[in-house]
Amino acid sequence: MNVFGLSLEELQSYQPKQTKKKDFNEFWEQRIEESKGQSLHISHESRSYCLPGVEVYDVYFEGFRNSRIHSTYIKPTETNSNAPTAVIFEGYNWGMLQPHHAFHYTIQGIPVLLVETRGQTTKSPDHNVYQNGGPSGWTTLGIKNPDTYYYSYVYMDCYRSIEVARELSNTKAILLGGSSQGGALALASAALHKDIMLALIDVPFLTDFKRSIELASQGPYSEIQHY
* pLDDT reported for residue 170: 94
Structural domain spans, the chain: 22-226
Give which of 115, 122, 128 is closest to 159, Cα–Cα: 115
pLDDT tens digits along 165-218 = 999 999 999 999 999 999 999 999 999 998 999 999 999 999 998 888 888 887
Dmax over CA atoms of the chain, in Å, equals 52
What's the 3-state SS for 100-122?
HHHHHHHCCCCCEEEECCCCCCC
Q: What's the CA angle centered on 67, arms 75 and 184, to 5 degrees? A: 65
Instruction: Name the class of domain 22-226.
Output: alpha beta
State phi, psi for 73 to the nearest 5 degrees. Answer: -110, 125
Please, what is the Cα angle at 24 between 23 and 28, to 5 degrees?
Answer: 115
User: What is the C-alpha separation between 185 and 1, in angstroms, rounded?
Assistant: 20
3-15 confidence digits (pLDDT tens): 667 888 998 999 9
Number of Cβ within 10 Å of residue 112's Cβ equals: 27
Phi-psi region of 42 (alpha: psi -120 to 50; beta: other; left: phi over 0): beta
